[in-house]
Structure 1
């Protein structure tokens, strides 16, 4: 390597960059070395310098060389680096004061007992407090009312135990206006690891809460309109089909509409984003007689709108068939519904329908729309239906990813 064995430089002090110093070359040879270097315009290389050194070191074995392994001449001009902006932190006190003043969050320091010790200038502004001294020393949880007060006390208790936490609640400003706040509460530790103070940072989320309330009202209005529309459809169907002699088809249509209506209602309560599986199962089964004849169980799971509607229609169809031909057609018949997330595959959701106590199960000779609904299952995945003598058994599988849609 160029520069190895050069006297006068330790490994640490040896310059990693650079240009041949011709002032340390043998007498009369400096110009020769400089010309040799200039004849090698190789970008990023120092071949000329190395060649010159190899030719000259034998002339003065006891002379020292000082050089940097950097080309003195390159084919491309060197670009000067732009200076990076630097933050002046020479006076940290002024900097911190400016940050606290500019922040729109209410930053507070509490004592370990939860009393207010400090509130930032920006916090006084958003809290509409003109004289903060009136509040210094007051219990911070008393700023909150009702559920917010309990949440604030719990937050202080957790911070006293060294545990950060957060909550949302409503508190009045200094001028008596109700505002919603998102609050983070964090313990401040001393050098010995003990909680010395508590940091509380509150952000005004009133606009967000008001938007959520408007969204809730709109969803409620949408729910009423959907129910009204389904009611009109049901009335139209009844009038249109009043002369149909096969009333079971009309009744099946009405039951499917009711199942859809109940599933819509549950989804609207969740802003049409998702719905827990247990209420969907319960609402679908309520339409089919005594709930004591059903046993439904399973872990908490959330379904998306598409899967929730598919499940409501599926359960309605299974219960209708059970009332006509299966377990629910006899007084002692029972139905067990069980759903689970498989231990071997946490992404797999399985729902089982098992009938018992009814007449021997038999596969239908003719498959109509109801059979096709059952075959569709949860909308995705598989549907396996069998007809053992003791009662119909069906298993429906899908993935949690698909079920969330």
Structure 2
């Protein structure tokens, strides 16, 4: 048998060792060793014609009789969309180069299969390419698992986005609706939060789990707005001095920020239920943004309200992590989340957020 030398890269040192051992063996011994491999091994001519396929390869490809494909162009065994990739790998092997590719190729009987394929040149004793070696590993199970994960992640992300949009719609509708008992609305929020929690448990990536957890927490927080309003048991008007401090305390529980020091200086002011909902939604989003800036045991949040004849000024001050990346004052449209901008518009208010020194943010809503 002709002496063989397969030019392989460093990570294929084991393959090189195997070929070195085979150099002095007879053709029958060589073929026996190839047939012992669990992978699909093929010997291909420099013209791309298939000369040999080991027994396990024929089984994997469901080829009952090798003579039915012998001397055929190897690329013709692949689907049309993969043939250019295979041709290119053969051309590279003829140049003495190695290719590693992943591609889809069904079996001879039509069963779907995905393969990891290494294509290497076989050199003769003079260093010339005499044949081409292809080793194909069936990665169908691995591919299907990854595909299921991708589909699952995409489904969860789409569902999370759709529920976030639904949540914003519900919040807007609730703020303009006539004041009614909030039990049904709270039940809806609880159902969404529970569903998001279940989805978070099923998520495979840390990013998706984190996004779903944030969404679930914010749903809980919005529910607290309506829960706090229901506790006041007022028909159409709400006293901010009774409403806002209690809401701030409930948000601290929702965002697991029990160590945060809260202070509220809210003068009595009666507003409509619609205005109270919008103010509550804005404070909820601001609290969520503050919580995202790494609250700790030294964190403080101060809420104050100064009444005017037809409205007032609400100020939220925190000493959270420095927002160095956002040094300039911002209006509602520049703050993350569309909910703040939506409710500022509903109030006909002005919104200003600016960094404090040495750290933290000051937010004012004038309505």
TM-score bracket for the superposition, by shorter chain length:
0.3 to 0.5
Rg: which structure is higher?
1
- The two structures have a TM-score, normalised by structure 2, of 0.44
Higher relative contact order (CA 8 A, sep 6+): 2
